[in-house]
Amino acid sequence: MSLPADELLIAIALIAYTLGALALLVYFFSRTPWLVKVGAPLAIAGCAAQFIQLVVRYETTHVWPLLNLYGSLSLFTAMSVAIFIGFAFRYRLWFAGGFVLALAAIFLAYAVTWYEGTMPPVPSLQSYWAKIHVPIVVSSYAAFLVAFVFSCIYLIKYYGERSVAGVEPRAAVARWLAALPSLPQLDVIVYRAVAIGLPLISVGIITGAMWAKEAWGAYWQWDPKETAALFSWIIYLAYMHLHTRHAWRGLRTSWVSVIGFLSIIFCYLGVNIWISGLHSYKI
């Protein structure tokens, strides 16, 4: 049985991310250079397949493909990988690719479970704002995913170095930890990822408010999605403010980034799936 082009492209992306994640996860622990030459092209191929899939889906259905959880999660994973690829090339960070690709594969596989075929959009989603607000917000989530991954690596390195300090049998672990970028370097990477995500989510909230004004007559109605987005925004704003304080920069701000991403996941998936409101667009 032949698959439609968009489903085939999603399958390609899913396979590419899974294999790429495996290659780069092994690279993370072994530092065998040729694994990057396997993982990086797979990441790029999967990402390209996803963007092509979104275009194909739009061209064949003439329905903006981001209006349900399947479509928005698809863009979320594609943007996560795209932002990571940009970071990886700019700052030589392929060692972290396994985590990003693994998360992308998990989210994409989860997206597929929400695929229900093509649906016309409900009236409130029939707006040019859908082409502005949704990609911006989803891209901010993607940037926060990248920040989350590097925050976790920061925390692994921080606590790992403390636990192996002066313990000889763990010298191999210590050498492996030392091969990671320094803690300040990891902190700067997290900061740069958040510095992409925070303006995007700010624009996303503002464009969302403008859309809400047009559709529902009010900028803000304390809908669960709005409240959760504001909460996440405040967490990342706190991150930025705390990052200016020397005592908070690094360990504490990494924890804030982790908490921020958990709040993003709640805002994105928790609100859409579990809580009914104005943003309960699942299928």
Partner 1 sequence: MVSGISLSSLSTANLAGLINAVPVELNGLAPIARAILRLNFDNIYHSPWYVGIIGLILISLGVCTFKRVIPARLPPLRPVTVDKIPLHDTFEVEASAPSVRRRLAELLSARGWRIRERLFGGVEWSFADRHDWARRGVLVAHSGFVIIAAGTTLYWARGFAGEFAVVTGQMQQVERTHALIRLDDFAYKISPIMTKSGMVYQPVDYVSKVTVTGNDGVAKRYTVRVNHPINVDGTLYYQASYGFGMRFRVTHYGQVDPSLSARTLLEGDSFDLPGTQRSVLYERFAPTIDRQSGMPTADPRVNNPAVVLGASQAGNTLGEALVPLGQAIDLGGGWRVVPKQYVLYSGFQYRNDPGVPLVGIGAFVLLAGLIISFYFLPARLYLRVDEITPGRARVGAAATTVKGYDVFADEFGRVAAALRGELGTPAAIE
Q: Please, which residue, 55 or 234, has the CB nearer to partner 1? A: 234
Q: Please, which residue, 33 or 217, has the CB nearer to partner 1? A: 217
Among the listed ranges 58-66, 169-177, 184-192, 260-268, the one in contact with partner 1 (CB under 8 A) is 184-192
Q: Which of 198, 228, 256, 271 binds partner 1 (CB under 8 A)?
A: 198
Query: Is residue 244 near partner 1 by the rule CB under 8 A?
Result: yes
Provide the 3-class DSSP secondary structure of residue 240.
Answer: helix
- Residue 119: count of CB within 10 angstroms of its CB: 12
Tell me if 277 sits within 8 A of 64, measured CB to CB: no
Query: Is residue 4 near partner 1 by the rule CB under 8 A?
Result: no
Query: Is residue 110 near partner 1 by the rule CB under 8 A?
Result: no
Query: Is residue 3 near partner 1 by the rule CB under 8 A?
Result: no
Q: Find, among 184, 175, 181, 180, the residue nearest to 246 by Cα.
A: 184
Q: Please, which residue, 187 or 226, has the CB nearer to partner 1? A: 187
Tell me if 148 sits within 8 A of 209, measured CB to CB: no
Among the listed ranges 54-62, 81-89, 131-139, 237-245, the one in contact with partner 1 (CB under 8 A) is 237-245
- Print the binding letters for residues 7-46 with partner 1: x by CB under 8 A, - otherwise: ----------------------------------------
Dihedral angle over CA of 128, 11, 262, 116, nearest 10: 60
Q: Which of 51, 112, 124, 251 binds partner 1 (CB under 8 A)?
A: 124
- Residue 125: count of CB within 10 angstroms of its CB: 18
Q: Which of 55, 171, 273, 283 binds partner 1 (CB under 8 A)?
A: 283
Q: Find, among 278, 270, 183, the residue nearest to 223 by Cα.
A: 278
Among the listed ranges 26-34, 167-175, 180-188, 256-264, the one in contact with partner 1 (CB under 8 A) is 180-188
Query: Is residue 109 near partner 1 by the rule CB under 8 A?
Result: no
Could you tell me the smallest distance in angstroms from the CB atom of residue 200 to partner 1? 10
- Print the binding letters for residues 68-107 with partner 1: x by CB under 8 A, - otherwise: ----------------------------------------
Cα–Cα distances in Å, from 117 out to 94, 124, 207?
Answer: 35, 20, 28
- Tokens at residue 249, please? 């920069």
Q: Which parts of 14-136 are beta strand (E)?
A: none
- Tokens at residue 193, please? 């990822």
Q: Find, among 150, 141, 151, 143, the residue nearest to 255 by Cα.
A: 151
Query: Is residue 280 near partner 1 by the rule CB under 8 A?
Result: no
The Cα 151–Cα 159 span in angstroms is: 12
Q: Which of 110, 176, 191, 231 binds partner 1 (CB under 8 A)?
A: 191
With the C-alpha atoms ordered 10, 48, 16, 192, is the resulting torsion angle positive or negative?
Answer: negative
- Tokens at residue 213, please? 């004004």
The contact set with partner 1 (CB under 8 A) reads: 115-117, 119-124, 126-127, 129, 184-185, 187-188, 191, 195, 198-199, 202-203, 206, 209, 213-219, 240, 243-244, 246, 249, 283
